[in-house]
Amino acid sequence: MNDLKALKELADVTEVAKNGVDYSPKIGAICPSCETPRTPVVGSLPWDGDCKIRYHKCKNPDCPFSVLGITIKSIQVDS
Ligand SMILES: [Zn+2]
């Protein structure tokens, strides 16, 4: 049943990536699947009030996000 467990974990981290991870000016956005920091930005929206949304792609060849081309959303809040 290891495959099912891995699939469940992938579904969970995909949900995290879809809902948005925290963006840090220092380490950028961390891939929720393989935890690589500074995932490359592939798109961003203009500041909306105190929030800025970016989209990232993980480039780790061993990461399912990279293999499947899953986009990671990040949210930066300027407080
Ligand atoms: Zn990754």
Calculate how far, in angstroms, residue 76's C-alpha sits from the geometric centre of ligand 1.
19
Calculate how far, in angstroms, residue 67's C-alpha sits from the geometric centre of ligand 1.
9
pTM over 0.85, yes/no: yes
Average pLDDT over residues 54-62: 97
pLDDT tens digits, residue range 36-48?
A: 999 999 999 999 9
Contact 74, 21 (CB under 8 A): yes
Contact 48, 78 (CB under 8 A): no
In the chain, where the domains are located? 2-77
Calculate how far, in angstroms, residue 39's C-alpha sits from the geometric centre of ligand 1.
8
The confidence score (pLDDT) of residue 22 equals 97
Residue-averaged pLDDT of the chain = 96
Calculate how far, in angstroms, residue 3's C-alpha sits from the geometric centre of ligand 1.
19
